[in-house]
Amino acid sequence: MRSIQHIHSDKEPHWVGDGFYVKTLFNHLDNDADFNHYHTDPFLLLDYGQPTNFAPNPNYDTQPHGVGQHPHKGFETVTIAYAGEISHADSAGGYGVIQEGGVQWMTAGRGIMHQEFHSPAFGQRGGPFSMVQLWVNLPSAHKLTEPKYQTLTRADLPIVDLTDSENRHAIGKAAIIAGEWQDTTGAASTFTPINLWDIELHQSGTTTLQVPNSHNVMILVQEGALLINDTPVSAGSLIQFATPTDTDINATNEQSATQISDSIELTYPKLSDNKQAPNIVKLLLLSGEPISEPVAGYGPFVMNTQAELKQTFRDYQTGNFGK
């Protein structure tokens, strides 16, 4: 079983623009000896948008809530809409709406300008809004790849039942955004081996996940409370699992290291009076093979060297960004 290294839940929320109220649970620019890019590689940043209620915006069509045009280069952004809707547009004329339950996987690659706002429909009606945005690094060989979008509706995501380890009844399900769960392959294409599973638990019991033991692994508790490896955790917590060691990833037979797995136990508990708790627990599992390359980052740019970073700034200032 992959042991829990630390539970991160002490981050203060802040506004990104005027539309996203988030906790940044990790950031590749942080210099914490116990929790830095080495421990999260290939993931760079995670913004947890805790459920927030927005009143209807009377100026939804001219002054939508969100973030205006800004650049990205050298990585990918993955945005998951748990509640509410997000409109996006870019400098190349691309436009779309991430509906509730949907995912947008944007490859910034060599550079793109884009903006993110509450959708007109959501701005007009208001209501609960909750999202997650994850930054995924690109290896040096693909830093300058052509920008692209993968727009994934809820219907595009394959669903796997999660069963109780003893009684084999279904206690939840996982939408496989990326990676693999048993024989099910996720909807998104990735540049390096990554698992991204959107998990819901709705009935008491214990289920076991299997993740490659060569991966860095984290779980975000988006909503609710449960036990992970018998440890109580609740909404807004990021569970950091032990970093793989050389022993972990050393294959002892002809299997590749990525085929050897570690287990993680999720337990949806009953209430003290044995009545089923009514709340759905929502989790996001992130696991990824470390890229293990240098990272030079500043703001919305993530390259491998300071020289590449400086060139990116020159290109941005001189009108050559993304070319």
Largest CA-CA distance found in the chain, in angstroms, rounded? 66
pLDDT above 80: residue 102:
yes
* 139: number of Cβ within 10 Å: 14
Q: Is residue 270 scored above 90 in pLDDT? A: no
| 52 found inside a domain | yes
Q: What average pLDDT does this structure show over 288-295?
A: 97
pLDDT for 47-95, tens place per residue? 999 899 999 999 999 999 999 999 999 999 999 999 999 999 988 778 8
Q: What percent of the chain has pLDDT over 90?
A: 84
CATH number, position 159: 2.60.120.10
Q: How many domains does the chain have?
A: 1
Q: Tell me, yes or no, whether 319 lies in a domain.
A: no
pLDDT over 70 (residue 254): no
Binding-site residue numbers for Fe cation are 70, 72, 114, 116
Question: What is the residue range of 15's domain?
Answer: 4-251+258-288
The pLDDT tens digits for 111-158 are 999 999 999 999 999 999 999 999 999 999 999 999 999 999 999 999
Instruction: Tell me if 196 sits within 8 A of 271, measured CB to CB.
Output: no
Tokens 């060989």 label which residue? 141
- % of the chain exceeding 70 in pLDDT: 93
Give the other-Cβ count within 10 Å of 118's Cβ. Answer: 23
Asked if the structure places residue 284 within a domain, the reply is yes
Report how far residue 257's alpha carbon sits from residue 261's, in angstroms, rounded to the nearest whole number. 8
Edge to edge, what strands does the sheet with 103-107 contain?
A: 14-16, 20-27, 43-54, 127-137, 75-83, 103-107, 148-152
**Annotation: binding site:** 70, 72, 114, 116
What is the spatial distance between Cα 262 and Cα 312, in angstroms, rounded to a whole number?
39
311 domain-assigned: no
pLDDT above 60 for 275: no
**Residue at 131 is within a domain:** yes
Residue 295 in domain: no
In a domain, 48, yes or no: yes
Q: Is residue 310 part of a domain?
A: no
> From CA 238, how far away is CA 25, in angstroms rounded?
7
